[in-house]
Amino acid sequence: MYRTPFPRIDGLLVAGGRSRRFGSDKRRARLGPQTLAERSLALLRACTDGDLFIAGGGAFDHPVDAIFVADAAVHAGPLGGIVGALARSRFGLVVLPCDAPLLRGDTLVSLARLGRHHARTVVVRSRRGIEPLLAFYPRSALPFLAAALREGNRALHRLLPRLGAIEVMAGDAREMHNVNRPGDLDLALEWKRQRASA
C-alpha cells in the first residue's frame, strides 16, 4: 500500500452518469466477485492515504467507508463532483471513474507520488488523448476549476493544459479500457482472465 504521513492524498470515485449506452446501471455490473464501483473504490483505498469521496449516489447496496459529496453545481458532469470533493480535500485528490476496471494500482500510485512531490495537476495520457478522470488534482487547482464551473466551461480536457498538468503515459492500452456497453464488459472480463494467466 502507498502510505506516507503528510501531506495526505485523498481519493475521489466518480460514480455518476446514467449508463444509457450500457442499458442498466453499469456501476453495479460485476467483474468477478466485485461490482465495477466496488473494485474502483478498493483500488483508490489501496493507493491513497487520506479520505475517500464518492461523487454520485446509488452505486452501492451496502454502507461504504467513504464520504458522499454533492456536486458543486447540478448537471455539471464530472467537474461538479471534482470541485465538490476538492473543496473538502486538504491537499488534493486522485480521481478515478468507476468504469475503468483494468486500471492498475501502480498507475494511481504514480499519480499520487507526482502530485505529492510537485503539488501540481497530474493526468494520464492514453492513445485517445488525456484522461481527465484518471488524474491528480491539487487543492490549489480549486479556484480555477470552480471559476470554470461558474462560467460554464465544463470540458476538463480543455482545462487541463491551462493548469499546467504533468502527463503520465499509460503503460498498457488495455488499462484504459472503458465499460460503456455490455460488450465492453465482456471484453474486460476476457482481458482480465488473460492478465491473470500470463
Could you tell me which of 48, 45, 67, 22 has the C-alpha nearest to residue 178? 22
Q: How far apart are the C-alpha atoms of 50 and 12, rounded to whole Å?
A: 10
Higher pLDDT, 87 or 195: 87
Look at residue 2 and tell me whether its pLDDT is greater than 60.
no
Look at residue 3 and tell me whether its pLDDT is greater than 60.
no
Residue 151, Cβ neighbours under 10 Å: how many? Answer: 8
Q: Is the pTM of this model over 0.95?
A: no
CB-count exposure of residue 119 (10 Å: 0-12, 13-18, 19+):
middle
Q: CA dist 116 to 81, 92, 104, 146, 179, Å?
A: 21, 8, 19, 21, 29
- Domain borders along the chain are 10-197
Percent of the chain with pLDDT strictly greater than 90 = 48
* Contact assessment for residue 142 and residue 117, using Cβ atoms and an 8 Å cutoff: no
pLDDT digits (tens, 9 = 90+) for 104-137: 888 899 999 999 999 999 999 988 889 999 999 9
DSSP label at 32?
T
Which amino acid, one-letter code, is at 12?
L
Residue where the block lists cell 452501492: 60
- Which CATH architecture describes the domain 10-197? Alpha-Beta Complex (3.90)
Q: CA dist 98 to 2, 34, 193, Å?
A: 20, 12, 20
Question: pLDDT-derived band of residue 95, with 50, 70 and 90 as boundaries?
Answer: very high
Sign of the CA dihedral running 89, 82, 145, 137: positive
